[in-house]
Structure 1
């Protein structure tokens, strides 16, 4: 029996296509930049071209994949973008905020590489452009590709747990550093669970925007990568809040599961 699109193999090919398109757009620019200018500094034009290239590549790949899916099962994106989120929205936001707090210690064990430091520096230098891309555009495009295309196909081809895990793995590989990959993997597990239970792409986009917005504010307006634990000097209070966040996330998952009544 022919698997639904995309299978794991087809998803890998889809992401390779995305990487090739981005490379095709960026490599010529980088070569010219190296020849005619100082390639060691990042200008506003560099940032604009980089963001524009990623946006264009993701739009092209999503459009191609979406048309492919539509031919097979008459998939309508508008159904998953319906604003009728009821109480799942509040629970998901609570869980999303709790997860952000719970992921904070990861930065202590997985240090940021020089590539990440340059990326964070660029966020602070080009606030408007980076905010537009990181907080608004990137979450939308990522969810369109990884949830509405890849995870949706995986849920038709594999068991839910494997589908969510596989999508999270692909999403983490899509990021350039180990720190981003680990955080993205955990975030994708949570958003994948929410998508499986609610089939609401809009809710997934909101959660992704929330995560990126919190990270953006901390990075840009703190002047450095500040740990949340450093803002709470009392270890006992921090541990209490950490356990509270873990409880909030657990309750969120349970409530979303019970509300949508989808069996594992």
Structure 2
């Protein structure tokens, strides 16, 4: 019955307007582990990391060329138990970074966030994956938001712009006169990528938690009650069905 329902959902999307860029808040790993009876809730991070590979396969199959995933915020890195954070970082290194760097992977990797808050090994693994996939010819782009905070990203973008203008000898008044949204966007950690059309958050939480605050200004939002490791293909197809049924206004 599940396969029949999934095929029916897929057929209804034929010819529909699908998002070019999907962003996902992969929430609920620990709660899923507790629900499944694991003694260590951090085990959910392994299942969550493994599941990303499957979800990327669904995106490639449907021709969704840009994906951004929210792996960990700055607050996650600083406020959670040290052992749990260490476990999550090892999962990122072993499951995400190393696997995506393999030649058979379709995805070009980009990292967005405050990388100085990451352990050296995690930072190195992600940068290695980024370098290894930089010249990959496949048209699929994955942005890994880790050590990420949307407000910090905007502040960093403005600081970068002001620093460059100061070196060029420009006055504050001159900078303010020419300041535009486009100039700030060009300094964001995600610069060069299209803004997300659809943002999906799992686990039933209805908030953005600082994710892509600038980029998602006109995105369609979809909140799913299932936890990330239990996020099924039918859940993903339902999100796309909801997106296809909406009339995007872009603030108009």
TM-score w.r.t. length of structure 1: 0.25
Which structure shows the higher strand fraction? 2
TM-score w.r.t. length of structure 2: 0.25
Which structure shows the higher helix fraction? 1
